[in-house]
Amino acid sequence: MTTTIGREAYMALVGKEIGVSSWRLVDQPRIDAFAEITEDHQFIHVDPVRAARETPFGGSIAHGFLTLSLLSTFAYEVLPTVEGVAMGVNYGFEKLRFVSPVRAGARIRGRFRLAEATMRSPTELLSRTQVSVEIEGADKPALVADWLGLLFFK
């Protein structure tokens, strides 16, 4: 559950870790469902036997875009709601990198740090949140990125 804070309190979070989400399982049924939706049926994702035989991963791995898409659920869990916001929109990413593969059956979570919060106008705030998706038990994250968001105030 997220908390609600004022604009000034939100801007005071710059430079601080905002939160860490709970773990989410990335199992083969989730990977297969993502493959169906995106029409990306590359064998490294949907054929665990072949992926074990022909890749260094030891089995199937999640699509990078599946891992990326889970950022929304992680964010809803930990990022605060800012009072007076009429709408927030995803503005894109900077420095997005897929660092390590997420093997089928792994659990991942999101870690968020507010790097920047700038008022572009009296009703528009641009935020840059540094995010990493950690893989349980792994030394390296699945992905790292700077996530841009726009908050529009009433």
> What is the tens place of the pLDDT at every residue in 69-116?
999 999 999 999 999 999 999 999 999 999 999 999 999 999 999 999
Alpha-carbon span 115 to 102, nearest angstrom: 26
> Facing residues of 153 across strands?
85
Residue 47 belongs to domain spanning = 4-153
SS3 22: coil
- Could you tell me the pLDDT band of residue 28, with boundaries at 50, 70 and 90? very high
Q: What is the CATH number of the domain that holds 31?
A: 3.10.129.10
Domain tally, the chain: 1
* Total-model pTM: 0.93
List C-alpha distances in Å: 94 to 41, 46, 75.
27, 29, 17
CA 62 – CA 95 distance, rounded (Å): 20
The residues, any chain, with a CB within 8 Å of residue 82's CB and separated by 6 or more, are: 4, 5, 6, 7, 10, 125, 151
**Average pLDDT, integer, range 2-31:** 96
What tens digit of pLDDT does each residue of 4-15 get? 999 999 999 999
Q: What is the pLDDT of residue 107?
A: 98
